[in-house]
Amino acid sequence: MPRPALRSLLTLILLILAVFAATGRAAAVDNGALGIRPSTESDFFHLALFPGAAADATAVVSNHTAHPVTLLTYPVDGQTTPQGSFAFASRSDQRKGIGAWVQLRTGQVTIPANTDVKVPFRLTVPPGTPPGDYSGGLIIQAPMVQGKTTTLEGGTAVRLNIVQRQGVRIYLKVAGTAIKSMSHGKLTWTHNDGNLNFTLPVTNTGNTILHPRADLSLTGWPESGTRLRFDAPENLLPGASINLHSRLQHAPVAMTGHAKAAITSEAGTGLASTNILYAPWLLLAIAILLIAATVYAIWRGVKFIRRARAALAQVGFSATATGSHKHTAHPNEPGVP
C-alpha cells in the first residue's frame, strides 16, 4: 500500500477508535465544559407511552466555557456493552428504537459562553410497537479536535483526531404486558495464571430491563464451602446477552469438585453447575513415570536377589550332595594293603 494511503487509513482507524473510546460509556452527562440533562428530571428521561402515542420533552445543554460552541445533536439507541454497562450506539449505527422515534427541530445547536440552551424534541411510538422497555439517548457532539501528527518508526505519519460527545439517557416504557424472562447458558471454567475463572452467559429474553445477580459455590477438594460472586452488570436490556464472570484467585494447584451458580433477577431464579477437575498433568505424568520406574527397578532388584539366592542355594545343595556320596575304600577290599 502506498505510504499516503496507509497514512490516511491509520488516521481514519485512530479517529474511529478515539470516537469509540470517548463515547462508549454513558455514565456522565457533564464533563465540566459541556453537559446535557433533562429539564424536569434529575438524571435521565423516563417516559411511558402507548403504541401510537407521542410525548414532548426538553433537554438542557450547558456550555461552561468562556467561548460559544456549536454542537451536533442527534438521537441514538441504547445498548448493553459486553461488560454489562449501558452505552449509546454510534451515530452511524442503524436506528431501530428510540433513535428512530425521536424528532429534533434541528441537527445542531449553538450555545453561547456560560449559557444553558433548551433543546426540545418529540418522541413518537409507532403504532403496533410491542410493549416493553426501550432505551436510547440524545447526543451532543463537539467539533472534531485535530491531534498532533506523530512519525512512527519507519517514517509513517499518524495523527489522532478526537471527537467528544455526551448524551442523556432516554428510558421508555411502552404500555402492554410486561414479560420478565431470562435464559442462561452453560457454566464454564478455566484455570489460568493461578486463578480459577468462571463464565456464565445470560440473555434477556423478555421485554423489560433486568438486573441479574449470580453467586457461585464450590465443593470438593481441596476447596469446599467457598462462595464467590459474579460481576454484576449495570443492567441487561431486552434482547441483550452478556457473560457474567467470577474468579477464585490463588486457586489450588490441583482440584476436583463441583461448582454451582445461582442466578437471580426480576425474572426469577436459575441454577447452572459444572464439574471441576484439573491438575498439573505434565508434572503428574512425570511423577507417575518416576514412580513406575522406581517400582519396576525394585521389582527387578527383588527378582534378581531371589534368583541369586536360589542359585546359591542350588550350588550349596550340589556341593553337599557330592560330599555325602564320595566313595571310601575298605581295608579288607582287594588292592588295599
CA–CA dist 50, 131 (Å, integer)? 8
Cell reading at 159: 495523527
3-state secondary structure 296-332: HHHHHHHHHHHHHHHHHHHHHHHHHHHHHCCCCCCCC
- 322: β partners: none
Please state, as a whole number, how many other Cβ atoms lie within 10 Å of the Cβ of residue 103: 12
Residue 85 burial by Cβ neighbours in a 10 Å radius (0-12, 13-18, 19+): middle
pLDDT tens string, the chain, 337 residues long: the values are 455 554 554 444 444 444 443 344 333 478 889 999 999 998 999 999 999 999 999 999 999 999 999 999 999 999 999 999 999 999 999 999 999 999 999 999 999 999 999 999 999 999 999 999 999 999 999 988 777 778 777 778 787 788 889 999 999 999 999 999 999 999 999 999 999 999 999 999 999 999 999 999 999 999 899 999 999 999 999 999 999 999 999 999 999 999 999 999 999 999 999 999 998 876 667 878 889 889 988 988 888 888 888 888 887 777 676 666 555 555 555 555 5
DSSP for 174-238? ESS-----EEE---EEEEETTEEEEEEEEEE-SSS-B--EEEEEEEEES--SEEEEPPPPS-B-T
Half-sphere exposure of 280 (CA within 13 A, CB side): 9
Q: Is residue 36 within 8 Å of residue 29, measured between CB atoms?
A: yes
Cβ–Cβ under 8 Å, residues 209 and 237: yes
Taking alpha carbons only, the member of 199, 139, 183 closest to residue 271 is 183
- Give me the amino acid identity at 332: N
Helices and strands in the chain, H and E counts: 3, 20
The phi and psi torsions of 130 (rounded to 5 degrees) equal: -60, 145
Reading the block at residue 218, the C-alpha cell is 464450590
Contact present, 236 and 202 (Cβ < 8 Å): yes
Rg, C-alpha atoms of the chain: 39
- pTM score, whole prediction: 0.74
C-alpha cell at 329: 575304600
Sheet containing 54-63: which strands, arranged edge to edge?
A: 34-38, 54-63, 115-124, 102-104
